[in-house]
């Protein structure tokens, strides 16, 4: 899990942060136009993550006043090693982090929120999803069995 800095750049300071307020506090004490790099560590990578990152990148580009690094033209980068990390790079001016996390969070949290109820149910009742899957398959078989005798029966002769 490493961000590859553009050629000619090196890290002056690395400050570990764990909450959004830590990033805002760090950003508010930084000089204007300081390069900020934040790694958003997610639970796991999901299938449509690249598309969500592209939509969030387009939205960030439409945000007036937010500037990318001069040497690195994008705001969001997926971790090149395949880790579930989104690297956010930008130039600080006023505190942009709340805006950025609002836009990126809105794009990335939709799939996570959609699956959250299943995670909770599975944690409370282990095996629940397998049971639901089994009931759905049994229901489909029942419906199929209702129509199967009619489909296999010889055709009725019409009386004239």
Question: Residue 86 belongs to what H/E stretch?
Answer: strand 85-91
pLDDT in the model for residue 72 = 84
Q: What is the pLDDT along the chain (160 residues), one digit of tens a residue?
A: 567 776 677 777 777 777 777 777 777 777 778 888 888 888 888 888 888 888 888 888 887 778 888 888 888 888 888 888 888 888 876 666 676 777 777 777 767 677 777 778 888 888 888 888 899 999 999 998 888 888 788 877 776 6
Structural domain contains residue 142: no
Long-range interactions of 3-10: CB distance < 8 A, separation 24+: 3/37, 3/39, 3/77, 3/79, 3/87, 3/89, 4/80, 6/69, 6/71, 6/72, 7/71, 8/71, 9/35, 9/71
Structural domain contains residue 110: yes
Structural domain contains residue 140: no
Structural domain contains residue 84: yes
Residue 65 belongs to what domain range? 20-124
Structural domain contains residue 147: no
Structural domain contains residue 37: yes
| Interhelix angle 97-124/49-61, nearest 10 degrees | 160
Q: What is the pTM of this model?
A: 0.58
What's the domain count of the chain? Answer: 1
Structural domain contains residue 79: yes
Structural domain contains residue 94: yes
Is the separation of the CB atoms in 58 and 118 below 8 Å?
no
């Amino acid at each position: 899990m490493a961000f590859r800095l553009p050629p000619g750049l090196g890290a002056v300071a690395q400050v570990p942060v764990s909450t959004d307020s830590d990033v805002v506090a760090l950003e508010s004490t930084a000089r204007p136009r300081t390069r900020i790099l934040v790694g958003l560590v997610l639970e796991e990578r999901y299938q449509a993550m690249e598309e969500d990152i592209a939509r969030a990148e387009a939205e960030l580009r439409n945000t007036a006043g937010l500037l990318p690094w001069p040497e690195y033209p994008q705001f969001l980068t997926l971790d090149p090693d395949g880790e579930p990390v989104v690297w956010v790079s930008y130039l600080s001016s006023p505190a942009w982090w709340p805006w950025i996390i609002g836009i990126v969070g809105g794009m990335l949290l939709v799939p996570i929120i959609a699956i959250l109820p299943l995670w909770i149910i599975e944690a409370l009742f282990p095996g629940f999803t397998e049971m639901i899957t089994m009931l759905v398959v049994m229901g489909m078989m029942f419906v199929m069995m209702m129509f199967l005798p009619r489909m296999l029966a010889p055709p009725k002769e019409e009386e004239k």
